[in-house]
């Protein structure tokens, strides 16, 4: 099995902190394959955003959320189907109503098993967390938008359309001006492009740019990324600017008939020079390859 060079992908509830009134985040503290997790309360219900990787992480999140909720009703949602975000949902069965957008439900049903196998191959600590995963079926599925009333607080669930995956959704809490973006935004690192041809080519750099423009227009004060430090609207602009630059530099070279190898080499060097402090350099090649395959007219 592959060497896994990162810390154990374990959710640590001791790091939980209140971001706004009745709104808690369990930050990922920069740990790979741990997402930022949200717990959002109203007078009669509480919504959990993301499960963590596998059933044991999800049980930790569920216990924390159930204690926090007291006698309030529990809901669960996930920003997209990737394993560290959604592959713990089974732990919430019987305890919470699992609510997601239709495109994500389709991703989970059609690609969940392949992702389970792929992630289990990443290394022993990941495989251990994925042991016993049973892919959950959502209780409620919506098409494009859903307003969830938690009691005195309405949370907006919005499907963005294809970007980081086919089934991305963002969750906004208007009264607190907070937005959970899932992996549409990662702070302090190069955007994650799950471009794995021929198995998965759903990620779209072009659509992703459009989605970032739309999210910026809604201007939340606080942005909780899928991974990395919580920030402000600048995080949305950073991702949009990066993706636009990646697109432009890739397309200029592609259209001058440069070899793909040289495009990857040159654009990678340029992006690292632009963002020397960003991690996730392994996502540059998939990102450039994705954009090489994309044409504005196809989208
Ligand atoms: Zn993801």
What are 178-216's pLDDT values in tens digits?
Answer: 999 999 999 999 999 999 998 899 999 999 999 999 999
Q: How far is the CA of 183 from the centre of ligand 1 (A)?
A: 5
Domain ranges of the chain: 13-188+196-233
Cα separation, 160 vs 230, in Å, equals 20
Write down the pLDDT at residue 298.
57
- Closest alpha carbon to 179 in 165, 169, 194, 191: 169
- 19-60 pLDDT per residue, tens: 999 999 999 999 999 999 999 999 999 999 999 999 999 999
Mean pLDDT calculated for residue range 235-241: 97
> So what's the pLDDT on residue 198?
86
Measured CA to CA in angstroms, residue 293 lies from 101, 161, 201 at distances of: 27, 19, 10
Distance in Å, CA 80 to ligand 1 centroid: 7
Rounded distance, CA 104 to CA 143, Å?
A: 10
pLDDT reading at 160 higher than 90: yes
Q: Chain-wide mean pLDDT for the chain?
A: 96
Q: How far is the CA of 154 from the centre of ligand 1 (A)?
A: 26
Q: Which two tokens stand for residue 247?
A: 């697109």
- Cα separation, 112 vs 58, in Å, equals 17
Q: Rounded CA gap, 82 and 184, in Å? A: 12
- In this predicted structure, the answer to whether residue 295 has a pLDDT above a threshold of 90 is no
pTM (two decimals): 0.96
State in Å: Cα 168 to ligand 1 middle: 9
What is the assigned CATH class of domain 13-188+196-233?
alpha beta
C-alpha 101: how far from chain center: 14
Average pLDDT over residues 91-117: 97
Distance in angstroms (rounded) separating the CA atoms of residues 12 and 31: 10
Q: What are phi and psi of 178, to 5 degrees?
A: -120, 140
What are 48's two structure tokens?
């959990």
Averaged pLDDT for residues 224-241: 97
- Residues, the chain: 299
CB 157 within 8 A of CB 143: no
Phi, then psi, of 24 in degrees rounded to 5: -115, 140
Whole-number Å distance, alpha carbon 191 to ligand 1 midpoint, is: 10
Give mean pLDDT, residues 78-106.
Answer: 98
Distance from CA of residue 269 to its chain's centroid?
A: 26
Distance 243 CA to ligand 1 centre (A): 16
Q: How far apart are the CA of 192 and the centre of ligand 1, in A?
A: 7
CB of 278 closer than 8 Å to CB of 190: yes
**Could you give the CA distance from residue 57 to residue 88 in angstroms, rounded to a whole number?**
7
pLDDT of 299 over the 70 cut: no
Q: What is the DSSP letter of 243?
A: H
Q: 118 C-alpha vs ligand 1 centroid, how far in Å?
A: 13
Question: What is the Å distance from ligand 1's center to 17 Cα?
Answer: 23
How many CB atoms are closer than 10 A to CB 83? 26
Report how far ligand 1's centroid is from the alpha carbon of 97 (Å). 22
297 pLDDT band (50/70/90 cuts)?
low
What is d(CA 192, CA 85) in angstroms, rounded to the nearest whole number? 14
* Distance from residue 90's CA to the centre of ligand 1 (Å): 19
pLDDT of 1: 64
Phi then psi dihedrals of residue 234, to 5 deg: -60, -30
Please state whether beta strands 154-159 and 169-173 pair in parallel, antiparallel, or not at all (unpaired): antiparallel
Q: How far is the CA of 184 from the centre of ligand 1 (A)?
A: 8
Task: Compute the distance from residue 35 Cα to the ligand 1 centre, in Å.
Answer: 9
């Amino acid at each position: 099995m592959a060497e896994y060079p990162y810390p154990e992908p374990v959710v640590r509830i001791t790091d939980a902190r209140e971001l706004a009134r009745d709104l808690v985040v369990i930050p990922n503290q920069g740990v790979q394959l741990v997402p930022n997790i949200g717990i959002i309360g109203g007078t009669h219900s509480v919504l959990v955003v993301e499960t963590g990787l596998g059933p044991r992480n999800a049980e930790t999140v569920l216990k924390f959320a159930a204690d926090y909720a007291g006698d309030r009703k529990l809901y669960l949602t996930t920003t997209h189907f990737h394993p560290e975000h959604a592959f713990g949902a089974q732990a919430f069965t019987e305890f919470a109503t699992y609510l997601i957008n239709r495109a994500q439900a389709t991703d989970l049903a059609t690609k969940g098993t392949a992702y389970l196998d792929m992630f289990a191959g990443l290394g022993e600590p990941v495989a251990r967390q994925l042991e016993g995963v049973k892919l959950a079926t959502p209780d409620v599925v919506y098409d494009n938008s859903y307003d969830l009333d938690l009691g005195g607080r309405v949370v907006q669930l919005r499907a963005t359309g294809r970007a980081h995956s086919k089934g991305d959704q963002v969750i906004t809490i208007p009264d607190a001006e907070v937005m959970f973006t899932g992996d549409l935004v990662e702070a302090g690192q190069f955007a994650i492009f799950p471009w794995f041809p021929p198995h998965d080519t759903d990620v779209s750099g072009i659509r992703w740019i459009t989605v970032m423009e739309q999210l910026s227009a809604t201007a939340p004060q606080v942005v909780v990324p899928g991974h990395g430090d919580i920030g402000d609207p600048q995080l949305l602009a950073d991702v949009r600017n990066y993706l636009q630059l990646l697109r432009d530099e890739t397309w200029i070279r592609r259209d001058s008939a440069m070899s793909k190898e040289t495009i990857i080499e040159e654009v990678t060097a340029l992006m690292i020079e632009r963002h020397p402090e960003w991690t996730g350099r392994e996502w540059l090649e998939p990102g450039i390859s994705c954009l090489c395959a994309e044409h504005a007219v196809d989208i």
